[in-house]
Structure 1
Amino acid sequence: MKPHSIGLVIAAVLAAAVPALLTNEFYLKIIFTAGLYYLAACGLNVLVGWSGQKSLGHAGLFAAGAYTVALLTTKGGWNPWLALAASGVAAGLFGVLIALPSLRVKGPSLAMVTIGFGIVVEKIVTEWQDVFGGQQGIYGVVPPSFAGHMLGTREWAWLVLAFAFSAHLLLRTLLSGKYGRAFQAVQAAEVAAESVGINVYRMKVLAFVISAVTCGLAGALLAQQNQYINSDFITFNLSIFLLLIVLFGGPSWYGPVLGAVVLTLLDAFLARWPHLQHFTYGALLLFALYAMPQGLAGALSKAVRKLWPRHSAALPPAPPQGEWQPKFASARDEAGVMLRAQGLCKAYGGVVPTNDVSFELRPGHVHALIGPNGAGKTTLLNILSGVIPADSGRIEFCGADITRTGPSAVCALGVGRTFQNLRLFPHMSVLDNVLSGLHPHLKVGFWASLLGLPAARREEAWARSEAVRLLEFVGLLARAGDEAGSLPYGLQRRLELARALATHPRLLLLDEPAAGLNPQETQDLTRLIGRIRDKGMTVLLIEHHMDLVMEVSDHVLVLDYGAKIAEGTPAAVQGNPRVIAAYLGVEDDDDGDLLPSTANLQPA
């Protein structure tokens, strides 16, 4: 059995046995409270720990679940089990409601918006006497029962632990696959996540909804267990406490468990000194943020790796079955057009990095885009990949107009890219970075991934075998289990290229892939690009290393001050007087054989 399975079995046995052996109501209440806090925090961990979005308003979502179950059972006469399920749905809808406008902002602004939501909810339930009972609250909330038997404290402890175990298993299954990688990619680098086909906004909304559902269920269970709810249960302090559980526990599967258990025990211990509680929580929050950025779970994991390095090391992937092959290889076609750009313009005030640029890319060819620094090459690549929109002009790719298409949709259509400045997902493994590139090709939906259905398992197995083949192709299979950020710079460049290839692009955009590489690494990269070309990949390459450009390119496009000044075969461009003038600062009528003899010269 895997360590996680063994630990889960042990935890399940303890969860069943400990409440059965305890007779002290206070201890049973602590178990119930810890399970309740875990249920609320495990979803919040998806939002904060995995996708990197800060929320300080989850008390409002807790209230949505609590008041939904209270109103449905007291005024609607609903079955308490159905009302409990409805509370999760209602909280999820509130999650969508606040996520859609809130996620237009980032960082502190997002936190402020969520704080506002929590305060508004608290004020509504306090002041709206007719519906929510005001400060008095709602009495007589109907709790669930089994065969007409009302639950005692011990049964409530078992029930909330059952919910906690179910939530843990479901979320672990979900986060072990493409959704977990997508959430982590969003947290690490949103632009890079979009470039591999991950819809960042959709992932953020999904994370918000997951956190809302679990938080709403926790609120509903609390209301049913107390058979009463009022605004005292949903203050801003609750939002802070839930966030503290996540940050103190750490952004891992086990972080919320550790955070909920430790802080529930601490909360019970400090109950006799209420004036110390807020001080202690504030101190713990600062400690978690600065001393333990990966939380208690991260600190324990680090200690385990030091004490038992062989047992904590990731297992190597299975050997690849066959050689990696692109899905959309293109035969060389001198007359065909894969991408056509017409009159592209982009201006930032008085600076015009792209000025009426038009060109065509042929299937199966390697095209190079060269020019001095500041010529507008990266801006043009960003326009083609959808990262920034053009002010005017038109882009057709494989017959489709992609001029106003976003980067994730452009990737899904078949355009992959790398970046001038590395944009890896540094805390993910090498293998997971490549797996994230396969995201647009994984079609199994949310529910199949959440429930771990056979279709999801088959697709994940295919993705891992495909990623292994690709790592073998680029020479990184031996480093598959390493953190991407721990690789040497040259290997990080190669990994970013592998991640772009994992999207199986029809057109591969490479933005200075040899930047920062030493001569040996540049030669290795040149050979790798040659192998990619031989597999039928269409490439548009930005590069300053002229040896690389002249060796692998079929066609060269030259920009200067945002405008196209030349294009043609490498040999023709080498002798073009305007190109020589742009690079060397000489007059157009100077000797045209200067560039071939200075092919290694970097642009001014």
Structure 2
Amino acid sequence: MSPAPGRTPWPQEAMGLVVGFALLALLPLALGDAYSRHVLIMAFIYGVVASNWDLSLGYGGVFNFGHLALFGIGVYAYGLLTKLAGLDPWLALVASGFAAVLAAAVVTIPILRLKGIYIILVTFGFAQLVMQVILSQSELTGGTQGMVRIPSLTIGEHNMIRDGKLAYFYIALGLLAASTVFLRVLVRSRLGASIVALRDNEEYAVSRGISLARQRLITLAASAFFTGVAGAFYAAYQRNASVDVFGMSLGTIILSMVLLGGTSTIYGAILASFVLTVFSEVMADFGPWRPMITALVIIVVMLVYPTGLAGLLRAGWGAAMRQVSTRPRG
């Protein structure tokens, strides 16, 4: 089957994924200090959350402002399962992903027939409800104090605390790779095409036999699993859980990554997670000016290229190819 116009053939995209993640795997050879690896680990985590948000927001057209609550559910599910239930950290990592999927299924029910601002209100209210439940169960969750000394991941006898964050780097990279492959396979499938069809013309798609309820449930559930796993990994890496993960500050950062990268791309959100995370660290010396400078950069990019960084790269690549094709030969 020939690819759709403008779509990269799957073998070429797969090769690009392999090369891209192979290059990322070589970064520890150039970055020997633990701090640089920490910045990249956080970029990987943000990349997972932002790219999965792009699935529901960009491809599905569902204004799910409760997406970050799925990340927070992963954080607390991991903490409760490992610290209170004594479950193996690796099993808790996967179980946290399924806990987020279950939460996504629950929030899907009240938004099946809603549109626009009403979906935003319901999903935002869901996030606030989850946070209030966590605060009210302080004997289990620690309330406003959060949970501390959460068990970390282990690999045999290897000491992951004293290896300069090398093991955590590769686990986070593997998580990002698995999430990206899953998302790209999904959006390129017939299921992905039906999700986009509902976004672009809901009435026509429904008239052609596509179930709105089923597709919306699949979209939110699919975007939840790796988001929950990322939250669990974040808890294992930081060894604490706090209700700050439900706050507007983190939500604004992740949403900025989705919009700056360019919606309906997956890759754009991942690229933006690297750019914003690294840029924020570079601007650390500017103190309170840092968020204002970052916001200004985002505004400028969005004004010049409304399609985000992904659109900027496509435009640059297209210009380079035209330059090559028009260059005199001989």
TM-score of the pair, normalised by structure 1: 0.49
Deviations 1:346-370 (A, max 9, x none): xxxxxxxxxxxxxxxxxxxxxxxxx
Deviations 1:210-254 (A, max 9, x none): 222222111110100111111123312222221211111112131
State the match for 1:304 in structure 2. Answer: 317
Displacement of 1:149 in angstroms is 2.1
State the match for 1:141 in structure 2. Answer: 150
Q: Which runs of 4 or more aligned residues in structure 1 lie more than 6 Å from their structure 2 counterparts after TM superposition? A: none
1:205 to 217, 225, 249: 217
Alignment of 1:325-404 (within 5 A): none
State the match for 1:115 in structure 2. Answer: 124
1:231 to 225, 230, 243: 243
Of 210-219 and 64-73, more deviation after overlay is shown by 210-219
1:191 to 203, 206, 214: 203
2:17 to 1, 4, 8: 8
Deviations 1:53-76 (A, max 9, x none): 122232211110000010010010
Structure 1 unaligned blocks of 5 or more? 313-604
Q: Name the one with the larger strand percent.
A: 1
Q: Is residue 2:231 matched to residue 1:219?
A: yes
State the match for 1:260 in structure 2. Answer: 273
State the match for 1:19 in structure 2. Answer: 28
Aligned 8 A contact 1:65 1:91 in 2: yes
Displacement of 1:304 in angstroms is 2.0
Structure 2: how far apart are the matches of 1:179 and 1:287?
35
Deviations 1:158-177 (A, max 9, x none): 10100111111122112111
Structure 2: how far apart are the matches of 1:109 and 1:285?
27
State the match for 1:173 in structure 2. Answer: 185
State the match for 1:68 in structure 2. Answer: 77
State the match for 2:103 in structure 1. Answer: 94
Q: Name the one with the larger helix percent.
A: 2
Displacement of 1:28 in angstroms is 0.3
Aligned 8 A contact 1:103 1:110 in 2: no
State the match for 1:601 in structure 2. Answer: none
Aligned 8 A contact 1:64 1:87 in 2: yes
SS of the residue corresponding to residue 146 of structure 1 reads coil
Structure 2: how far apart are the matches of 1:104 and 1:227?
40
**Which entry has the higher C-alpha Rg, 1 or 2?**
1
Alignment of 1:181-580 (within 5 A): 181-250=193-262, 251-280=264-293, 282-283=295-296, 286=299, 291-308=304-321
Aligned 8 A contact 1:56 1:115 in 2: yes
Change (3 A) 1:286 1:118: farther
Displacement of 1:261 in angstroms is 0.8
Structure 1: how far apart are the matches of 2:159 and 2:87?
17
Change (3 A) 1:310 1:205: farther
Structure 1: how far apart are the matches of 2:185 and 2:312?
23
Displacement of 1:287 in angstroms is 5.2
Letter in 2 for 1:137: G
Deviations 1:373-406 (A, max 9, x none): xxxxxxxxxxxxxxxxxxxxxxxxxxxxxxxxxx
Structure 2: how far apart are the matches of 1:311 and 1:172?
29
Deviations 1:110-154 (A, max 9, x none): 122222222222333234311210121112211221123242411
Aligned 8 A contact 2:102 2:221 in 1: yes
CA RMSD across the alignment? 2.4
Structure 2: how far apart are the matches of 1:120 and 1:8?
38
Structure 1: how far apart are the matches of 2:198 and 2:302?
20
Change (3 A) 1:293 1:113: farther
Structure 2 unaligned blocks of 5 or more? 1-9, 326-330
Displacement of 1:93 in angstroms is 0.6
Displacement of 1:2 in angstroms is 4.3
The percentage of aligned residue pairs carrying the same residue is 28
